[in-house]
Structure 1
Amino acid sequence: MERQQETIASPAARITHAFERAKEERRGALIPYFMCGYPNEEQSVRVIQAAIEGGADIIELGLPFSDPLADGATIQHAGHVALERGMSIRGCMRIAERISAQSKTPLVFMGYYNPILAYGLERFCAEALQRGVCGIIVPDLPPDEAEPLREAATRHGLALIFLIPPTIKDERMERVVELVAQGPGGFVYCVSLSGVTGARTELPAHLQSFIARIRRYTEPKQVPIAVGFGLSTPEHIAQISRIADGAVVGSALVNLIDRSSEEEQPGAVKSYIQSLHQGTRSNQ
């Protein structure tokens, strides 16, 4: 009973509740990604708040890193600018704290393992909890090597969310789903294609069968599936919302911020998120 109460009260449970709310509304959850400190610290807070006003269900906060292996050119550019302008893990914590002070929308950090390890796993998780963060995604951390961070995250009620690529074998997929199910909440992050992030015009043909493979393991455990990498249009979101529980959009938002003036950025982001939100309802 004590463990059950701890899980219900955990920050990670807010992620689960966001997916449940979306499901009750017969739509997919919308999960925009923003690089902390891009285009600068103050403006990143403004555009994230605009996304929440536009209907975002969960926010991914990118931690900039000098060697982002899974990121395409667009996200790399955003991370490079953020680092040049002094963004650090402490700065990312500040941004999370400011957002969480104004909104109950779940926040998830997404960053590479080396900076988190250097910061200290226990310290990172403790501070993330204090700043209102609910979960962590680490693209370059395999499940077999994740136990130290998973233990620290679980102690603080944070979800550790794993990526599942199309090339994954079934036994490894089953293991990933089991790890998420054992934690206090969260979801599995389905990578829609092999390679790096970046907005694309077409979604891969294999995606529906890939999601069906994952469903065999997630449904019995009631673990939500979110799909990312390459999504950029309401039509993409509509396609994903018919076969998965949530959709992640990242590079397209960086591109939108790039081509808008600082004054225009919050409004442009809010309008774009609202247009994507319409696509989430395609599964009605």
Structure 2
Amino acid sequence: MSRLSECFKSGKKILNIYCTAGYPRLDSTLPVMRALQDSGADIIELGMPYSDPLADGETIQKSSAIALGNGMNMAVLFDQLKEMRKEVQIPVVLMGYMNPVLQYGFEKFCADAAKVGVDGLILPDLPQHEFENKYKKILDQHGLDFIFLVTPETSEERVKKLDALSSGFLYAVSSSSTTGGEKDFEAVERYLQKLQAYQLRNPIMVGFGIKDKKTFQDACKYANGAIIGSAYIKIIQHAQTPEVITKSFIQSILN
């Protein structure tokens, strides 16, 4: 059983925290990941910095720009992650965009991700038909889960298709906007109730606009858990060490 499957088997509401590799400093990647695990996060979504992150709002865009300026790139990332599994036991999902992955080489990327112990990928700009016809077999070969995104505008037929293709979980974007914005949670709840009624194969994780205890709990009413990104990126921006501020942030959500 994969680490992601094991994680959802517990039945608890899952907290997935997004962090940007190489942010706020180049050598922050593993200390931040350790702090997230030790403070109670269930999954780490590790962002691979890219100069044109289409789905990300201003906060995560800025963190990507800082990380790139710090010298983060794919080779550096995998070098940093080679010792990851000595210290980090929770699931780790890489989130990014196709351009840098293709530049690195898709098969090499998947091989290196699997080698360091990555569990799955989120690549929002990988089209479904290309995934099915070209890339799925490579991901399967390396034992990597692949997580598709759905939005409130995604048709029932397409949601069920993407659910069938996904493994690990299905990423329910709370609204058709970028990360970090304010959300109408009554509308989000109606959307999540609709997804729940589809009786999907994968657990549902909600992202975009989750930032504190209330929004986490609201998101979890009709989902298996939620993803927090921009709110966490903001609080570690000036932290010299991530441990204390990460623990305080996560406890404010879970307690």
TM-score range, shorter chain: over 0.9
Counterpart amino acid of residue 229 in structure 2: G
1:122 alignment counterpart: 107
Q: Which residue of 2 aligns with 1:244?
A: 223
The within-5 A match list for 1:31-42 is 31-42=16-27
Contact 2:53-2:97 at 8 Å conserved across structures: yes
Matched, 1:262 2:240: yes
Partner of 1:282: none
Structure 1: how far apart are the matches of 2:129 and 2:120? 19
So what's the TM-score if we normalise by structure 1? 0.85
Equivalents in 1 of 2:121, 2:59: separation in Å? 21
Report Cα offsets for 1:103-141 as digits up to 9, x if no partner: 211100000011111211111111100011000000112
Contact between 1:227 and 1:247, CA under 8 Å: does it hold in 2?
Answer: yes
CA displacement, residues 16-36 of structure 1 (integer Å, 9 cap, x when unaligned): 111112x1xxx3100000000
Please name the residue that 2:87 is paired with: 102
Within 5 Å, which residues of 2 pair with 1:39-50?
A: 39-50=24-35
Q: Displacement of 1:203 after TM fit?
A: 4.2
1:226 partnered with 2:212: no
Q: What root-mean-square deviation, in Å, do the aligned CA atoms of Structure 1 and Structure 2 show?
A: 1.5
Q: Which residue of 1 aligns with 2:39?
A: 54
> Matched residues in 1 for 2:170 and 2:64: separation?
24
Q: Indicate the residue corresponding to 1:91 in structure 2.
A: 76
After the TM superposition, which residues 100-179 of structure 1 pair with which residues of structure 2 at under 5 Å, given as runs?
100-147=85-132, 148-179=134-165
Q: Identity over aligned residues, as a percent?
A: 37
Does residue 205 of structure 1 match 2:186? Answer: yes
1:276 to 2:235 alignment: no
Separation in 2, partners of 1:217, 1:156: 30
TM-score, length-normalised on structure 2? 0.94
Cα pair 1:107 1:133 within 8 Å, conserved: yes
Say if 2:4 and 2:91, in contact at 8 Å, map to a contact too: yes
Quick check: 2:17–2:44 contact (8 Å CA) kept in 1?
A: yes
**Aligned equivalents of 1:179 and 1:37: distance in 2?**
31
CA distance in 2, matches of 1:269, 1:241: 21
* 2:239 aligned partner, one-letter code: S
Q: Which of 73-82 and 168-177 deviates more?
A: 168-177
For 1:166, what is the secondary structure of its paired residue?
A: coil
1:193 corresponds to 2:175: yes
Could you tell me which amino acid in structure 2 is paired with residue 135 of structure 1?
Answer: G
Deviation at 1:60, TM superposition (A): 0.4
Higher helix share: 1
Report the Cα distance in structure 2 between the residues aligned to 1:275 and 1:20, rounded to whole angstroms: 24
Which consecutive residues of structure 2, in runs of 5 or more, have no partner in the other structure? none
Q: AA paired with 1:64?
A: P
**What is the deviation of 1:160?**
0.7
Per mean C-alpha deviation after superposition, the further-off stretch among 104-113 and 233-242 is: 233-242
Name the SS of the counterpart of 1:117 in structure 2.
Answer: helix
Q: Take 2:9 and 2:216, find their aligned partners in 1: how far apart are those partners?
A: 18
Deviating more after overlay: 105-114 vs 117-126: 117-126
Change in CA separation of 1:155 and 1:218 when aligned onto 2, cut-off 3 Å: farther
Aligned length: 254
> SS at the partner of 1:206?
helix
CA distance, structure 2, for counterparts of residue 62 and residue 96 of structure 1 = 13
How far residue 174 of structure 1 moved from its aligned partner, in angstroms, is 1.1
- Tell me how far apart the structure 1 counterparts of residues 82 and 144 of structure 2 sit (CA, whole Å): 15
